[in-house]
Homo-oligomer: A and B are copies of this chain.
Amino acid sequence: MAKTDLETRQARVPLNKERILRTAVAFADREGAESLSMRRLAQELDVVPMALYKHLANKEEMLDGMLDVVVGEIDPARTDTDWKTAVRERILSARRALLRHPWASRVMESRTQPTPVVMAYMDSMIGMFIAGGFSIDLTHHAMHAMGSRLMGFSQELFNDQSDPDAPMQPEMIEAIAATYPSIYELYLAVSHDDASVVGPGCDDQFEFEFSLDLMLDGIERLKDVENR
């Protein structure tokens, strides 16, 4: 009896959507999104799986909510500078948020409908271009062209190397050299730049900013043509 009493006494923190989402995000940060199931999450919260469904319609809604948490971490737009700096810094802030939650870009790719939070982010992004003097049409094209870069990632096409700094067996390298000569050539050049011959080979942050600036410069030029 004493035990039951104590259990009931220690007013167990009640569930609510926000606490569920925070826990889910933390779990995904720790274990990856693919190991996040409703059942595991319920366990994490010391609750029976179905309890979650009093606060969320289904798993999809939860994933959306988790992404909203991430998007919520993106800094608001600066208003004290030109459009290009403002857009650039905002996107880099988005990227920082996504890097904090490595599962997020993949989950984002899997979503089909934007949430209101994402819509609001897009809305403000569009606003930045318009305020910067872009025509509506060019803004539209720019938004398309930026694509997922707007959210802070370029999908890297197999970015997730199994072992971040796997030393790459020499025989594997040889096989690659024979079969994919151009990849090998590129690999040689890139890994040579780096401190170690076997390092990660390229600086993702640099590559991201490189192509971000390629886009920004490109659309800036188009804007100037338009206004000439």
Contacts and interface: CB of A to CB of B under 8 A. Distances in A.
Interface stretch (A14-22, A41-49, A143-151): A143-151
Given A136-B189, A211-B215, 8 more contacts: A119-B179, A122-B183, A140-B189, A145-B207, A147-B154, A148-B155, A214-B215, A215-B215
B137 A182 contact: no
Contacts of A127: 181-182
Select the residue from A112, A137, A145 with max chain B CB neighbours within 10 A.
Answer: A145
Contacts of A162: 112-113
Interface string A207-227: 100110011011100100000
A108 to B, nearest CB: 8
A144 B183 CA distance: 13
A59 interface: no
Most chain B CB inside 10 Å of its own CB: which residue of A106, A137, A154 = A154
B109 A140 contact: no
A222 to B, nearest CB: 8
A185 B109 contact: no
State the majority secondary structure of interface residues on A: helix
A181 B136 CA distance: 13
Copies in the complex: 2
A146 to B, nearest CB: 8
A60 interface: no
Interface string A104-136: 001011111110101110111011001000001
Nearest to A160: B112
By size class, the interface of chain A is 35 or more
A190 to B, nearest CB: 6
A175 to B, nearest CB: 10
Interface in A158-177: 158, 160, 162
A87 B109 CA distance: 26
A110 to B, nearest CB: 8
Contacts of A158: 111-114, 118
